[in-house]
Structure 1
């Protein structure tokens, strides 16, 4: 029995690694995978090893640029900055998790997409940042969709 479970786990791990992380995270969080790709493109130009270091305490990691302000929350799930940097799928899933939180809080709209980057503060300058970011991601998303129709 243990051997069957081991083989099943290996097959599942291989399938998870072989599949596209954006498709899997999109399916699991009910988010269009192309929207996740658009966020990743806006955040890191799809660079899974991107690092944006502002200071030793303020930095963002990986393709989805998961910010250090989230690390304490993520640690309760066993997610570390190192795992976000070294495991592309964990990074994409974590980004999808935070985008899903924004959608749950404000609905599925471009300002919620903007909250991925600019947070939920109601200050006018944060709202402007959310709207700008949402517009940028929207344009990238349209470009991704248009590319697919050309193929």
Structure 2
């Protein structure tokens, strides 16, 4: 199943990076949502929680030493997998559309891992899949924030 999403990402990001610039970020959310079969408003809520909709946000304060980049705060742990698609940290910061597509791709992968459990996938977007109580608590807290953001933007 992972190969399926890698192929999907390759096509999607080739289109995005090949000069097909989408000026309107809302269109990027809609396009990514359609391509990866995740709700556009949910992606927008995640962006609101992650970066407060700041496209050039960078967070280098994670406890594991990782950094987060751009609108969807893509964690540096994904950079190695993104390398074949020529997606680097600077691309994630300067190209919000690519950043949104990568965020949607990660969420879609999480949905596969959680067998379609949307809120478990959302929690894992932020805190991963560890079964440690501290991580489970972090996932619940993050899900509550995203639900709240969904209400604010009009679920």
Shorter-normalised TM-score: what interval?
0.7 to 0.9
Aligned length: 133
1:67 aligns with 2:72: no
TM-score, normalised to structure 1's length? 0.81
> Structure 2: how far apart are the matches of 1:24 and 1:71?
22
Identify the match of residue 147 of structure 2 among 131, 134, 138. Answer: 138
Q: Distance in 2 between matches of 1:30 and 1:108?
A: 13
> What residue is the counterpart of 1:91 in the other structure?
99
TM-score relative to the length of structure 2 = 0.79
Gaps of 5+ in 2: 1-18
RMSD: 1.8
Tell me the residue number matched to 1:42: 49
Runs of 4+ with >6 A deviation: none
Q: Which runs of 5+ in 1 are unaligned?
A: 1-11, 147-151
Show the counterpart of 1:113: 122
Q: Distance in 1 between matches of 2:85 and 2:20?
A: 19
CA offsets 1:15-49 (integer angstroms, 9 cap, x no match): x4456211111111111111000000000000001
Q: Which residue of 2 aligns with 1:8?
A: none
The CA distance in 2 between the partners of 1:73 and 1:133, in whole Å, is 24
Deviates more, 1:89-98 or 1:16-25: 16-25
